[in-house]
Amino acid sequence: MKRILLFLATNLAILLVVSVVFNVVIAATGIDAQGSVGLLVFCALFGFGGAFVSLWISRWMALRSTGARVIEQPQNQSEEWLLRMVQQQTKKAGIPMPQVAVYQSPEPNAFATGRSKNASLIAVSTGLLQNMNADEVEAVLAHEVSHIANGDMVTLTLIQGVINTFVMFFARIIASALMRGGNQRGGGFAYYGVVMLLEVVFGVLASTIVMWFSRQREFRADAGSADLVGKQKMIAALRRLQQGKESQLDGTMLAFGISGKRSTMSKLFMSHPPLDERIHALEQRR
């Protein structure tokens, strides 16, 4: 219930802020909100606004949704080693030290999030620390460090913003045409019903683009880990993950986790490439 209320409150806040910004922009620029340009501005504000607000609060949301504890003062040798390893890897990658956290979960997993390289977070599960050896954990950490170094969080947010914008825009343009010119503002329940249906359909289709970028990003992070700690360690970590259970991470954290959900769905909708493909790509790397 707490997570549901947090999700609803966050999205209502996003809608309120973007609505205010939209009205301010329209008033300041004199753009015709009924025309195509005004509609595109409206869709861009909501599309990018929602994506960037989610990015801005991603670290805060991740900590609360997983119950992760940021390591301020290490409580044991494992946490001391964890901080030292991340510090070494971030120094080698040339990025600032992120927050490091541990969350309770039996599955071996980790994720990176944050609005920028200067405000990032790497969280690892207790299952990862308990079920992987030091070399494998080191490789997983390097994978997450590579996500941050590559700027993957911002890149995916920009892609999602573009997708959101055009999904909203074309849904409204096509709905208006289907309703024989009914205007966007006052087309009634039928118009908005068609808009919602088209947004769902276009959103599902457009998600294949986002997922393609997500899979390419995973290959890059694997390669980054291989550069930081050696490809054999990363291959060993991926093989260990093949023995694990389905990831329990949600949303953005799933996309930036070391392991994605196993699914019978089409590869087009997978955020992570199959582990076999990731291992093969590393084995072919020189």
Binding site, annotated residues for Zn(2+): 143, 147, 218
Question: Which residue intervals of 57-121 are DSSP H helices?
Answer: 58-66, 77-93
At residue 235, the 3 state secondary structure works out as: helix
Q: Catalytic one among 80, 144, 277, 283?
A: 144
Q: How many residues are there in the chain?
A: 286
Region of 113 on the Ramachandran plot (φ > 0 left; ψ -120 to 50 alpha; else beta): beta
Could you tell me the sign of the dihedral formed by the alpha carbons of 179, 183, 189, 194, in that order? positive
- What is the Cα–Cα distance from 283 to 286, expressed in whole angstroms? 8
Which DSSP state fits 164?
Answer: H
For β-strands 99-103 and 119-125, DSSP reports them as: parallel
Count of H helices and E strands in the chain? 11, 4
Residue type, 243: Q
Nearest alpha-carbon partner for 116 in 55, 161, 60: 55
User: What are the beta bridge partners of residue 101?
Assistant: 70, 123
SS3 assignment, position 187: coil
Catalytic status, residue 79? no
Residue 179, both tokens: 């309703």
Q: Which residues pair with 69 in a beta bridge?
A: 102
Positions annotated as catalytic residues are: 144
